[in-house]
Structure 1
């Protein structure tokens, strides 16, 4: 019956067939601070079966009707815990209300960064997140400052979560095999993940800075109409990848104070 669930290109499906790796991904969750898990894109349940052994309640979010039929037939304990919706459009409060829950999955590569951005919006409810991405995307999320892959995704994720790249997965353990290597990473919400600056301004500063990443901040942030006095600050002589997450927070506070003073 497993053969009847065809991997669909438009859904970015690559079914994991290696049981050992599936179990290893399930074990990346600490199970601390929550009693429920949401798996995104379970497919034929190779990861799901290991999650169901954990002392937590597992829900799955699956948009593919063939996979849903397969899961209903093979995992009876999931019967009322299958969410047949597109995670990106799904209102999690329908299932989890205000409860804490972890997110895990072998994520479709074509929407993996959007899944991370939605998780950042849900950060008050998601203390832990782990799963499989295209290797380069996982590395980018976890990259430290000073690294050439450090960018928008790295900063916006790491300001709220500790990010760890865990292990690499080769293409041949999937059906069909993707053209790239995969990487498994974990995000653990920081104890204090509140932003001491305006969130919208912070996101804007980070995105604007990295859009012209080879330029110094003095040049890339011109649209903020900074005062000459502020532009003399040594931070503006740096390029964005030279700034740690904390320094981006400090930069945002400087820009906010500057705009108040120049009004």
Structure 2
């Protein structure tokens, strides 16, 4: 971590035909909107590190969510991104992003809108890579939608609250293991890259952040119907201390019988099961209801 205004240091920074971010923010009278989960990241060492982690950037399309004043946007372009598409719902940042567009002609496109309502899988040409310091309040639903799109995305290099990253990476029999762990690891290879302390942001959040990279799998880790798997994990972790023979009754009154059928002790709890076991349960529940009957 560097002190002072990080936008004033480094060869890459001097090559940018743009003023330092702090000057841009002062010029436009911008401030972070906490209601939108905004925290500005100025540190060139960090934005550059994120951009390098997402490489290669010189093919296909890079999609960024919530660029704000464009610190990460600049880093992506400066590290060779051929085409960057940003989605920003806060109109205050559009003039700043227009200045970046002018500095990198033909390489930046700006979409004004809510990322939850934009189908990122249809943006630009493949391979598509999403790179973003995600607004904390929409990070999980965005991630779930992108994972469902499978290999439409070559990779997702994302910053989350550390507690969310811990859940994404958690293994069975740990306190962080749950629905999010299973959903992410079932659909993607998940890797922790590095932590980012609160002091790196303006204003500093109350929590540490973590950059995580997810590479979607060509096929999920084990066979299962995604919607059924979600129902099973939601029930299993809805009340973590309940035995599965009780918690899974909301999925099917035959829960205990199905558990025995797939070789899982009815007295087990959700946190004890592997992803493979949850997928076996999802297949068994679906088979009991038939291939077309909803759970």
Q: Is this contact kept in 2: 1:72–1:78, CA < 8 A?
A: no
Matched, 1:40 2:65: yes
Mapped contact 1:33–1:127 kept (Cα < 8 A): no
Q: What displacement does 1:198 show? A: 2.1
Structure 1 residues 228, 14: closer, same or farther in 2, change over 3 A? closer
Check 1:38–1:139 CA distance in 2 against 1; reply closer, same or farther (3 A cut): same
| Cα distance change, pair 229–137 in 1 and its aligned pair in 2 (3 A) | closer
Moved more, 219-228 or 41-50: 219-228
Cα displacement (A) at 1:194: 7.4
In the other structure, the counterpart of 2:18 is none
Q: What secondary structure, in the 3-state scheme, does the structure 2 residue paired with 1:256 have?
A: helix
The answer to whether residue 223 in structure 2 is matched with residue 165 in structure 1 is no
| 160, 179, 189: which one aligns with 2:216 | 189
- Aligned Cα RMSD in Å? 2.4
Alignment pair present for 1:54 and 2:76:
no
d(CA) in 2 for partners of 1:142, 1:200: 21
Q: What is the CA distance between 1:94 and its match in structure 2?
A: 5.5
1:5 aligns with 2:35: no
* Distance across 2 between alignment mates of 1:203 and 1:227: 16
Give the whole-Å Cα distance in 1 for the aligned partners of 2:113 and 2:240. Answer: 37
**Match of residue 238, structure 1, among 243, 268, 283:** 268
TM-score scaled to structure 1, two decimals? 0.90
Match of 1:178 in 2: 205
**Is residue 244 of structure 2 the alignment partner of residue 217 of structure 1?**
yes
Pair 1:29–1:228, CA change in 2 (3 A)? closer
Q: Per the alignment, do residues 228 and 210 of structure 1 end up closer, same or farther by CA in structure 2, a change over 3 Å counting?
A: closer
Q: Is the 8 A contact 1:170 1:181 kept in 2?
A: yes
Is the contact made by 1:165 and 1:184 (CA closer than 8 Å) also made in structure 2? yes
Contact residue 162 and residue 209 of structure 2 kept, 8 A: yes
Does 2:104 correspond to 1:81? no
Aligned residues: 261
Bigger radius of gyration among the two: 2
Of residues 151-160 and 230-239 in structure 1, the stretch that sits farther from structure 2 once superposed is 230-239
C-alpha separation in 1, matches of 2:131 and 2:90: 17
**Structure 2 counterparts to residues 134-153 of structure 1, below 5 A:** 134-153=161-180
1:200 alignment partner in structure 2: 227
Structure 1 stretches of 4+ moved >6 Å: none
TM-score (norm 2): 0.81
Distance 1:33 1:6 in 2: 32
Partner secondary structure for residue 167 of structure 2? helix
| Bigger RCO (CA 8 Å, 6+ sep) | 1
CA contact (8 A) 1:5 1:70 kept: no
* Whole-angstrom CA distance in 2 between matches of 1:129 and 1:228: 38
In 2, the alpha carbon distance for the partners of 1:237 and 1:30 equals: 46
Structure 2: 5+ residue runs without aligned partners? 1-23
Counterpart Cα distance in 1 of 2:213 and 2:40: 20
In the aligned structure 1, how far is the partner of 2:98 from the partner of 2:30? 13
How far 1:31 sits from its partner (Å)? 2.9
Which runs of 5 or more residues in structure 1 are unaligned?
none
